[in-house]
Structure 1
Amino acid sequence: MGSTIRAPQTPAPAPAASRERARGALLGLAVGDALGAPAENLKPSEIRARWGRITGYVTDRPAGTDDTEYAIFSGLLLARHGHALTPALVEAAWHEFIADRAEGPFHGAGFSERGTLENLRRGLAAPISAQHRHAWSDGLAMRAAPFGVFAAGRPAEAARLVAIDGSVSHEGEGIHGGRAVAAGVAAAMAGAPPVAVVAAALAVVPDDSWTARSLRRATAAAHRGERAVRSAVVIGGYPWTDLAPEAVALAFGAYAAADGDFREAVLTAVNMGRDADTTAAVAGALAGATQGLSAIPDEWATAIGPARGSCLPSMAGRHVLDVADLLVSASTGLHRPEAPVRREALPVPDRSAYALSAGEEEPQP
């Protein structure tokens, strides 16, 4: 049963503020993903043994993983359909751009995504396609930030939309995790302080859910630092690190411990290990929406180029900044795709609005 509490409705920001925060949220997601990827599935002690404390990229060619590429996919789908998004439209896009294509590399694809693809290829439709062994994973939470960007200042609407997206791939706690992230980003997009961002996340999930309990424990422990946050929610000895209640709580705990500061939020999430790419991606999205694009260190931001398509080949060449701009345009009614367009088609970014970063290539439709 869903929560009967309504998320606080904060006023939508002006378009200029929306663009700065939108870019901060989605680039923050990609940066957190790239920073956290090398630490994925590691314990803090293992991280320290390899790198000491991670304070920046530890690979020569940092890039987003499946977290970034699925967020781009969902963001483009949302920019096309907006508030009219339906499970049928989401399912059609999964078929068109993922499931019905020749098997790609899918490097790093999560268990929930692979389970969904297997079900879709067997002809199962939503919500049956979400009935697999990992429907509780953080695979929806990792792609939830675009919904908060689109529904800036409207946490309940962000939560409604991301649940529609998630109906194809997730159930139960997996949906709750996505709703919490989308609502939190929506609140942050409107300038809410971290305490209100956490409240917005809690307001859209059932009070007695595992997700809500973990969120409350993590944020209550946040003032005592990352070790306390980790101890509050991590299930020691459990082999899977992609549990949505755990990963989402770690991300919000890192964000709360840093009081919304981008650098500290992301590094706290990274150094806690577990599903570090996802926890840092979510923390980065929350802090990026809170502080805006300018809060992301230049040396981190400039390393993020267009998606490589290592997990989703159909997303190769797309950049999170393009997606952020499309979502802002769609949310303010400025984006009107030219007709005729097949309902499954994803919008092609218009990159003329800003200069390309050094070494960046034009995305392919």
Structure 2
Amino acid sequence: MGATAPTASTARVPPPPVLRGAAGLRERARGALLGLAVGDALGAPAENMKPSEIRARWGRITGYVAECPCGTDDTEYAIFSGLLLARHGAALTPALVGAAWHEWIADREEGPFRGAGFSERGTLENLRRGLAAPISAQHRHAWSDGLAMRAAPYGVFAAGRPAEAARLVAIDGSVSHDGEGIYGGQAVAAGVAAAMAGAPVVAVVASALAAVPDDSWTARSLRRAVTAAHRGERAVRSAVVIGGYPWTDLAPEAVALAFGAYAAADGEFTDAVLTAVNMGRDADTTAAVAGALAGAARGAAAIPGEWAAAIGPARGSCLPAMAGHHVLEVADLLTPSPDSPPAPAHEPAETLP
């Protein structure tokens, strides 16, 4: 059954835990990136499927259906962006992003996935021709969810600062995406940044909307999805999916489905991820984003242990340079150590919507 309107049962969903200080921040960071990888692995078998096809094959997906679950390009590109961010932090520039694409992807032998989705392949072709940002992003799939799938590390890094998360992810995206592709990444990064501060679902959604143009396709789809969320996953899907459109990696659609699943579950991790998975379409990405949002809000402890235990180091099947890196390693690189003294304040805190 899909998620339903708020009732006495959904009212019993526990609020986000109180996670304070460096230890709490790291718990949320680990929840965000482990949640992304878990959602990716859960959703991968359902990618590009319709809900009717999912039901015919599995009934309803309630856990891993793959024999050896693992993350796909979504997880490996998120690790890539996390390592890039750990290296440069707030000093990130398009030139540094382009250099990392060359160092870790374009100038190396590719894995079996050949650089992953269409937006990544188009970017790699342009980079190998000697083009740089923003021209490297001028290809037919600049509107894809390829930036959204790797945006969560920016929300982790800029915890509680959605505008800064949106600024940084747009710099990353300038090499590979444009327009709605950038907006999708900004919505995800800003939403995760708000969730990292313990914001409730309504404030997480508001932060995402505040990061993108109000009249953008991304904003319109996101509003439709969260408005329909109380009526369950079928309503969310009907509100945003472009019927008959062949590409399922359309950023405004995928990001809206992810936020709709997150809102339909009232931020609870398991329900958010499984709602995204069972809606099909680009299920690995939508579940990865929903998992990042819910994991950031509730911490790694909210992720079922058997799901978390299945996530190992990246295999490098898409990006060989990412082989051996674990999402938890990246989460720790992006957050202060619990044993470190508090850093002096150097930036004003943002006021969440």
Does TM, scored on the shorter chain, surpass 0.5?
yes
Deviations 1:109-151 (A, max 9, x none): 1000000000000000110000000000000000000000000
Question: Partner letter of residue 182 of structure 2?
Answer: I
User: Segments of 4+ in structure 1 off by > 6 A?
Assistant: 330-334
SS in 1 for 2:52: helix
In structure 1, how many angstroms separate the alpha carbons of the residues matched to 2:98 and 2:338? 22
CA drift of 1:60 comes to: 1.1
Give me the CA root mean square deviation.
1.6
Deviations 1:300-347 (A, max 9, x none): 00000000000000000000000000000399998xxxxxxxxxxxxx
Alignment equivalent of 2:34, drawn from 13, 27, 32: 27
In structure 1, how many angstroms separate the alpha carbons of the residues matched to 2:210 and 2:338? 23
Q: Does 1:118 align with 2:100?
A: no
The 5-angstrom pairing of residues 58-207 of structure 1 reads 58-106=65-113, 109-207=116-214
SS in 1 for 2:335: helix
Work out whether residues 222 and 259 of structure 2, in 8 Å CA contact, stay in contact via their aligned partners in 1. Answer: yes
- Return the TM-score normalized by structure 1: 0.87
State the partner residue of 1:278: 285
**Quick one: structure 1 residues 19 and 119, their matched pair in 2 at CA, closer, same or farther if it must change by over 3 Å?**
same
CA drift of 1:103 comes to: 3.5
Aligned pair count reads 323
**Quick one: structure 1 residues 19 and 152, their matched pair in 2 at CA, closer, same or farther if it must change by over 3 Å?**
same
State the partner residue of 2:345: none
Deviations 1:219-265 (A, max 9, x none): 00000000000000000000000000000000000000000000000
CA drift of 1:15 comes to: 1.0
State the partner residue of 2:253: 246
**Quick one: structure 1 residues 69 and 326, their matched pair in 2 at CA, closer, same or farther if it must change by over 3 Å?**
same
CA drift of 1:13 comes to: 5.5
Work out whether residues 13 and 152 of structure 1, in 8 Å CA contact, stay in contact via their aligned partners in 2. Answer: no
User: What percent identity do the matched residue pairs reach?
Assistant: 86
CA drift of 1:213 comes to: 0.1
- Return the TM-score normalized by structure 2: 0.90
**Quick one: structure 1 residues 135 and 57, their matched pair in 2 at CA, closer, same or farther if it must change by over 3 Å?**
same
Work out whether residues 72 and 323 of structure 1, in 8 Å CA contact, stay in contact via their aligned partners in 2. Answer: yes
Question: Partner letter of residue 254 of structure 1?
Answer: A
Structure 1, unpaired ranges of 5+: 1-11, 335-365
State the partner residue of 1:290: 297
SS in 2 for 1:113: helix
CA drift of 1:106 comes to: 2.5
Question: Partner letter of residue 307 of structure 2?
Answer: W
SS in 1 for 2:336: helix
Structure 2, unpaired ranges of 5+: 1-18, 342-353
Q: Does 1:17 align with 2:24?
A: yes
Work out whether residues 65 and 108 of structure 1, in 8 Å CA contact, stay in contact via their aligned partners in 2. Answer: no
**Quick one: structure 1 residues 73 and 120, their matched pair in 2 at CA, closer, same or farther if it must change by over 3 Å?**
same
Question: Partner letter of residue 188 of structure 2?
Answer: V
State the partner residue of 2:309: 302
State the partner residue of 1:361: none
State the partner residue of 1:348: none
State the partner residue of 2:276: 269
Alignment equivalent of 2:320, drawn from 298, 313, 320: 313
Work out whether residues 19 and 324 of structure 1, in 8 Å CA contact, stay in contact via their aligned partners in 2. Answer: yes
In structure 2, how many angstroms separate the alpha carbons of the residues matched to 1:180 and 1:30? 19
SS in 2 for 1:294: helix
Alignment equivalent of 2:228, drawn from 221, 224, 236: 221
**Quick one: structure 1 residues 333 and 129, their matched pair in 2 at CA, closer, same or farther if it must change by over 3 Å?**
farther
State the partner residue of 1:230: 237
Work out whether residues 115 and 121 of structure 2, in 8 Å CA contact, stay in contact via their aligned partners in 1. Answer: no
Question: Partner letter of residue 160 of structure 1?
Answer: R
The 5-angstrom pairing of residues 48-67 of structure 1 reads 48-67=55-74
